[in-house]
Amino acid sequence: MSPQKALLTAAALLTAANAREITFPPVSGVQQPVGASYGNGVGNMGFGFGDDPLDLSNSQFAGLTTYANLPYVHCLANTTATGGEVESYDIAILGAPFDTGVTARPGARYGPIGIRQGSRRIGPFAYNIYTGKNAFSTLKVVDCGDAPLTVLDNTIALAQLDKAHRVVSARKADSDVASVPRIITLGGDHTTTLSALRSTVDHWGAVSVIHFDSHIDTWDPKVLGGGVSHYAGVNHGTFLHLAHEEGLLLNSSIHAGIRAPVGNKHYDLRHDKACGFDIIKARDIDRFGTQKIIDHLLERTNGTSVYISVDIDVLDPAFAPATGTAEVGGWSTRELLTILDGLSGIHIIGGDVVEVAPIYDNPGETTTLAAAEVVHSLIQLMADTPVKPTKN
Ligand SMILES: [Mn+2]
């Protein structure tokens, strides 16, 4: 190597060594870190930085994954770890990891964690572009984690879930405008809704259920499962029959999005009516549009307390492939969200999103993103209408 070449090589090495200290030039137009306060006291976009880029205390995508990055509260505890009172809340997100009541593909026991995963971009900074509202600004919403449910015995698991609902809803609400906390359950297969209704009856008596689903779920255990054993008759296709039998439902209930076939067109539909339900079929949206569907749901349940249960299979499998009993020909995510948001003002006392089985989802998380946004809409409906119990 010539002395001249050696000198050039040394200079290149020196440059390489110096290049390890990288100083980026200032980015034109950015006056403060992304996500910093707008300077007029109105929030930020939740990317985790205030004026100090090393302030790690407000990061959106760090820490453990709760629904919409909400604070975690151990709502099932008797006291806090230090013996204090459990933190109060108005709306509790509660996971129900149970999927041994299904008649088709299992996997919804991972629904709660999947929905939380799909909710990472939802948070207190978000104002709805259609309504201008922020679902988290008036009532205190927390994530209680999942109820501990055994996977080995359905009877015990459902008793555990019954108890979890009673404990979580028995606390005094945080706000004085809503004296009983309301629960939004992340299912879990649809059997889990039965536990929720067994708890809401303690505070609000029998309720109307708005049941978004492709299936009617009022099947008589005699025709679905009960022929196998008494125990097998309690499943995700019979829970509404059982809720009716237990006196938890008003006869102003209604299904929305139905399209799956029934086993016996006379008996099943007559029985469905006897359980208190009217039916909006999936294709009704083509004839009437979303507004007529909203109007019908509001008319049907007018003057009653309402529980809203959303089986994610109400959506077409194009929008929600990750579910146990997919039925083609369903609604789009946009149509469902339009209908849900259109129910603003309804006396909603509880709700759930069930049958999300993340194992069948795609890398784009299509189903869990949709389910997370449905939960967001349910929270907004609760925030729109604070309720007081009609019993106790
Ligand atoms: Mn269902």
pLDDT in tens, 250-292: 999 999 999 999 999 899 999 999 999 999 999 999 999 999 9
> Residue 267 CB: number of other CB atoms within 10 A?
14
Q: Write out the H or E segment, with its range, that includes residue 95.
A: strand 91-96
Q: What is the pLDDT of residues 56-106, one digit of tens each?
A: 776 655 678 999 999 999 999 999 889 999 999 999 999 999 999 999 999
Whole-number Å distance, alpha carbon 190 to ligand 1 midpoint, is: 5
Whole-number Å distance, alpha carbon 273 to ligand 1 midpoint, is: 17
DSSP-assigned letter for residue 104: S
**Residue spans in the chain of domains classed CATH 3.40.800.10:** 67-384
Percentage above 90 pLDDT, the chain = 76
Whole-number Å distance, alpha carbon 21 to ligand 1 midpoint, is: 58
pLDDT tier at 174 (50, 70, 90 boundaries)?
Answer: very high
Question: Does position 387 have pLDDT exceeding 70, yes or no?
Answer: yes
Rounded to an integer, the average pLDDT of 209-214 is 98
pTM: predicted TM-score of the whole model, two decimal places: 0.88
Q: Are 168 and 91 in contact (CB under 8 A)?
A: no
The residues, ordered by sequence, that sit 6+ positions from 308 with a Cβ below 8 Å of its Cβ are 209, 210, 212, 340, 343, 346, 348, 350, 351, 352, 378, 381
74 is in an annotated binding site: no
213 is in an annotated binding site: yes
Name the CATH superfamily for 67-384. Ureohydrolase domain (3.40.800.10)
52 is in an annotated binding site: no
Q: Is the dihedral of CA 60, 65, 69, 71 positive or negative?
A: negative
Whole-number Å distance, alpha carbon 260 to ligand 1 midpoint, is: 11
Beta-carbon neighbours within 5 Å of ion ligand 1: 190, 213, 217, 311
Q: Are 364 and 322 in contact (CB under 8 A)?
A: no
Whole-number Å distance, alpha carbon 281 to ligand 1 midpoint, is: 14
What is the predicted pLDDT for the residue at 50?
59
286 is in an annotated binding site: no
